[in-house]
Structure 1
Amino acid sequence: MNRIAQLTFLAALSFSQIALSAGLSVSDIEQKISAKQSEYENYNSVLDSEISNAAKLERGLADLRKNVTLADADRQSALIEMNLQYDKVIENPELDIAPARSAYAKAVRTHKAIKDAISDKYNQWQAKLQEVEQMQVSKHSLLNTIEGLKEQLNSARVDRLYEEFNRKEAVVVSHKIACDKDETLSKCTERGKSLAKQKASKRFLDTVYSSLSEAKEVEKRRPTSDVSVQVLRSDVADSNFSGQGNYNVKMNLQLQGNLKRSEGCQLLGLDRRYCVSFAGKNTVKLGAAAPILVTDDSVMYELTVRSNVFDDEVFIDGVSYGSTKLQIMLPSGQHDVEVTKRGYESNHQQITLNESKTIKVELERAQYRFSKGERIQDILAGDIPGPDLVVVPAGNFRMGDITGLGLANERPVQTKDLKQSFGISETEISVGAFKAFVRATSYVTDAEKGEGCAFYQDGKAVWQANRNWRSPGFAQSDNHPVVCVSLKDAQAYVDWVSKASSQAYKLPTETRWEYAARAGKETDYWWGEGINSDNANCGWCGSQWSNVSTAPVGSFERNDFGLFDTVGNVWEWTVSEKSSSHAVVRGGAWNFAPRLARASTRMELDGSFRANYIGFRVVREQ
């Protein structure tokens, strides 16, 4: 097995090994990450070498093509000379023309040898390009494996912290207090025992914190934590009163740390998504241990929200709960409630819920244009609605790996200036929109004509002939993003929309895509630095579609320019501004890790590639 085949095989094993990581300890997963990182770096080095080899083959082919032109000229010259000698032999039969014939034969052989060499070199070049394309896909698959292991590492860290913190321990404590002059002996006794419990709990909590595997990391956030200690059992082993009015007590206690999973994430500085259940259950099992409650035992009250408009949206504690009239059960305490609607000023208020409550919201029309951008839509020939577009204003921004957490191909960071506003589809192009294009043009996609469509399995892209945009391997409605389309397919759609609307539609350049995706932010994601939970459809991102399938377009919140799904769901084709021979997909996908869904992440692919995790959106010139 040659080196490239070995590397591809290793990348193929990587994703399947993630599944085997479930239930492993933190140190086991850290070792796996270290090993995979070494594989990735080695793989990247070999890929760079193979790209260089492909370039060398291409240069060699160009040289041969120059040589064949010269050889052809030599052949023509030798032919002319031989013909001249034949003319002379008619007048002088004794003339020796063998040298001319020999020179012509040699020129013919040389010309043929160079042409054969060109054919051989071309085949070598094409084979090398295919190897490079497969390695590029495998490279990103291996990177996704590493990011997946990091996701599992964080979950394992929370599990470990939970187990270490919520341990039980028998504690013996002695305490002495001075009884107050006006205090009865009974009250002094109870106060002494209560203070002894507090003393034991404090000592136990200090011991728990200091013995944690990540004690230094946790200690930084201890002042703002809300953990507690539960007294499971307490017995007085000995007690007495001294002659000076002092009460001495010795107690045996059974104590247990009380750490909720959500508090574990806070102590470790992790996103909340590592500490919630994604399966709709309220418990998570850790080996043979007792179930851990994800939610607390707070009293639940009913909150009813009404407004004076239809088709609004209600956010409670940053989570969308749909439109009014809304009735929902919430735990007691403070909650942030925001009601929004396009064209109206948002209403935001904080409520304290200690009983069932109804709030009525009066939304007022906004004085200015909707801040997320004007919406426009062209009507195409045949009364077909075009893509829903959002106008993105002109401006400048810093493009690339601003936070320093990205990959090498995201650097250097550059300031880009977009002098003209443009329209961009607010969602990825949907199955329904692509279906209208196919019906109008009878277009047949590359996947339907060739090898089919790739899907992600066992850490690599696997081709299957019967997969295409109509059947990508999971259920899709007209409202899901179209997938299994190549760059050529996406461009064909753009050309059709341009002609049918008499407007200038294009695929987004990388600069326009990142500018629109960032929406004025310089963080890794348009809402902030962390992926958090259920903000987007990407692998291990906490939604019901994560690592399962695409989500319907617009299932998550818009960014500040009014665009949906610039993080996750499907990678989106863009026109590369760094390489003329390759296109670039941006934005991450439902089965790729959160780190690969950052605003600056670039994945370079051949334009003929298609997969059930790649789609596109369009832009329109003003």
Structure 2
Amino acid sequence: MMRLARLALVMASTLTFASTALAQQQPDTAQMSVGEISNQIATLQTEYDNFSDTVATLQREEQQLREQLQSLRERNRELEQQRQAALEEMNNRYQQLVDDPSIDIAGAQEAYKEAVMAHQQNKEDIKTQVQLVSAKSREVEEARVSKHSLINEIETLKDQRNVARVERLQSEFNRSGELEVSQSIVCDREETLSQCETRGKLLAKQKASKQYLEQTLADLSEPELARENLDRVSPNVQILGSKTVSDGFSGQGNYGVKMGVELRGQLPQSQACTLLDIDTRYCAVKKTANNGKADEQVVDSSVMHPLTIRSNVYDDEVMIDGVSYGSTPIEVMLPGGEHEVEVIKYGYSTYNDVIKLKDAQSIRAELEKSEYSFTRGEKIQDILYRDVRGPELVVVPSGKFKMGDLVGNGLPNERPVTTESIERPFGVSDTEITVASFREFINDTAYVTEAEKNGSCAALESGTPKFDDSMNWRNPGFSQSENSPVVCVSANDAKAYAQWLTEKSGYNYSLPNEAQWEYAARAGTESDFWWGNDVGFGKANCRNCGSDWSNVSTAPVGSFQRNPWGLFDTVGNAWEWTQSDNGFVVRGGAWNFAPSLARVSTRMELPEDFSSNYIGFRVIRAQ
């Protein structure tokens, strides 16, 4: 027993050291170069890879402790039988002593004493072993959350590396330098010598500009990538000054000039991301005044302008900057500046446009009927009992799709890509299950979640795993409304909720399997996010994604735009439980996880009894 106790102490110390080391390894990346951040990522990636072995080792040790506990319990039954036998023998000896006082009963007494002591010691060993099993189980949970923290920090560092790449590119491109160039031209018969000289010097400056751009591109830290994307941007070279080193005319009417030219590269910040082929959110353009004028044309945001929107369909939905304004035709007053306009109707392609509003403007949105046409029966909401209704469902059609990392940005467990078939249409809750919906289930059944029973809801605080006995779906560690996604629920809790829906409605509810979830989340697309390969800014609730809730808490469901098939929050907010061939997997990313982990193909395998304040779920219903 002492050996096991020492082993538990060593493992607990190891995990504490790992968590502390992780916290200490978060440097001020704003002061780090791209190479230094890359080295930090490589270090953490090695730790992440090793953590898989750590979790597996801890699980084996937990199983060994449980087996030892079972052996002690079986031993307890044997010792109880031995104690009973010793007691019976001693009682027999006492009876014989009454008839024959010369009989020695000391041996029987000693045997009974030893049997009692062995039984009591075994009980103490069982008590100690139960504590060791409990401690080891908690170590396993902490190791799992530490692993989540590591992958989250890795992806966050990748974001920070992209910021550093942009800053490095800007520094390398927008630098000043000097070139000396020579230019010879043949003077035109119709131009004067002065005109020929002016033309020759102009051509020399153009030559210098071209050479400087070529030299700048060659000297970049990522020249190959920049050249691949050069045709998508419009970098400039500014001539700061020039001087003639030598010039002169030949007898044949030729003019030659050698010039020293001072130049500076000019790459707009908004184009740096395009040149590096990364998400434009890393290159937010800040307009700064220059002698009363902005670097770019400034639109007065204090002036309101009318915007009229019409479409070729009825019963559609107009979204402006993520806010619904109802159906077309509409006329709204908006401040001057850029606005994102979307017109949505189920069964039709979505109209998207970004406008710069600086006067009255009209838009005519043309929506085309999509391959998957929904009827007015596309929305389903079952009555459970009295006036209580189930979650609102959206019908997803049958079909085939490519599943996995289609773009090449994914993790190893997202490959290989496979073609999956969805044989039958199904209904899927258009939002993650809310606190209010889960409360109806609890009130009707008196169900107690695993986190409430075991105090096992996990959280990440500054990259360190935390378990708080007071944290559960009612109190996940941050403020939630009734319309927020329920979290701190395990896959077992989610299955119990789905079973309750089945019993109350008479229809078959369940958690989606991985293929059903990804099919519905993709909504016919083949990009990392249903709107494209860049997460953008303010489009979802994930770490550093630009929403009011990013890295703070979950957002109320439906706070962001639906995907083309009518589902909210398939990107970020809360990871969602799904069923896989080998157990349970969470999908979709969360409010405190990096954007790259919210891609549609990202997957994280977890045991069905795991709970955390960044995991919720949605349900499906068979037709």
TM-score (norm 1): 0.80
Number of matched pairs: 605
Further displaced range: 518-527 or 443-452: 443-452
Q: Which residue of 1 aligns with 2:620?
A: 619
Q: Which residue of 2 aligns with 1:601?
A: 603
**What's the CA shift string for 1:209-241, capped at 9, x where partnerless?**
111122233233335442221223345555443
Does structure 1 residue 118 correspond to structure 2 residue 126? yes
**What's the CA shift string for 1:449-491, capped at 9, x where partnerless?**
8869654321123456776656656555444323444556645
User: Secondary structure of the residue that 2:59 maps to in structure 1?
Assistant: helix
User: Secondary structure of the residue that 2:542 maps to in structure 1?
Assistant: coil
Q: Distance in 2 between matches of 1:190 and 1:354?
A: 41
Q: Distance in 2 between matches of 1:573 and 1:2?
A: 34
**What's the CA shift string for 1:301-333, capped at 9, x where partnerless?**
9975323656634689xx86855536779999x
Do 1:584 and 1:602's aligned partners in 2 also have CA atoms closer than 8 Å? yes
Do 2:485 and 2:556's aligned partners in 1 also have CA atoms closer than 8 Å? yes
Q: Which 5+ residue runs of structure 2 have no aligned equivalent?
A: 1-8
Q: Which residue of 2 aligns with 1:546?
A: 550
Q: Distance in 2 between matches of 1:449 and 1:129?
A: 15
User: Secondary structure of the residue that 1:254 maps to in structure 2?
Assistant: strand
Equivalent pairs: percent with the same residue? 47
Change over 3 Å in CA distance of 1:208–1:408 after alignment to 2: closer
Q: Which residue of 2 aligns with 1:358?
A: 362
Q: Distance in 1 between matches of 2:294 and 2:108?
A: 94
Q: Which residue of 2 aligns with 1:578?
A: 582
Q: Which residue of 2 aligns with 1:588?
A: 589
For 1:434-583, list aligned pairs within 5 A.
434=438, 455-462=459-466, 476-485=480-489, 490=494, 493-494=497-498, 497-510=501-514, 512-519=516-523, 524-526=528-530, 531-559=535-563, 561-574=565-578, 578-579=582-583
Shift of residue 439, structure 1, vs aligned partner:
6.7
Q: Distance in 2 between matches of 1:53 and 1:391?
A: 46
Change over 3 Å in CA distance of 1:348–1:119 after alignment to 2: closer
Shift of residue 336, structure 1, vs aligned partner:
11
Q: Distance in 2 between matches of 1:216 and 1:375?
A: 50
User: Secondary structure of the residue that 2:165 maps to in structure 1?
Assistant: helix
**What's the CA shift string for 1:552-586, capped at 9, x where partnerless?**
3234444454322222111224457535xxx6533
Do 2:456 and 2:611's aligned partners in 1 also have CA atoms closer than 8 Å? no
Query: Partner amino acid for 2:429?
Result: S
Do 1:276 and 1:294's aligned partners in 2 also have CA atoms closer than 8 Å? no
User: Secondary structure of the residue that 1:172 maps to in structure 2?
Assistant: strand
Query: Partner amino acid for 1:375?
Result: K
Does structure 1 residue 342 correspond to structure 2 residue 350? no
User: Secondary structure of the residue that 1:22 maps to in structure 2?
Assistant: helix
For 1:320-331, list aligned pairs within 5 A.
323=325, 324=328, 325=330
Q: Which residue of 2 aligns with 1:127?
A: 135
TM-score (norm 2): 0.80
Query: Partner amino acid for 1:501?
Result: S
Shift of residue 339, structure 1, vs aligned partner:
3.8
Query: Partner amino acid for 1:175?
Result: Q
Q: Distance in 2 between matches of 1:473 and 1:73?
A: 50
Query: Partner amino acid for 1:116?
Result: E
Does structure 1 residue 159 correspond to structure 2 residue 167? yes
Change over 3 Å in CA distance of 1:536–1:479 after alignment to 2: same
Q: Distance in 2 between matches of 1:516 and 1:434?
A: 22
Query: Partner amino acid for 1:388?
Result: E
Query: Partner amino acid for 1:422?
Result: F
For 1:310-459, list aligned pairs within 5 A.
312-313=316-317, 323=325, 324=328, 325=330, 339-342=343-346, 358-361=362-365, 369-370=373-374, 374-393=378-397, 421-434=425-438, 455-459=459-463
Q: Which 5+ residue runs of structure 1 have no aligned equivalent?
A: 285-289
Q: Distance in 2 between matches of 1:244 and 1:387?
A: 89
Q: Distance in 2 between matches of 1:409 and 1:173?
A: 55
Does structure 1 residue 306 correspond to structure 2 residue 313? no
User: Secondary structure of the residue that 2:44 maps to in structure 1?
Assistant: helix
Does structure 1 residue 67 correspond to structure 2 residue 96? no
Change over 3 Å in CA distance of 1:339–1:160 after alignment to 2: same
Query: Partner amino acid for 2:188?
Result: D
**What's the CA shift string for 1:268-323, capped at 9, x where partnerless?**
2222222225xxx4469xxxxx9xx998559999975323656634689xx86855
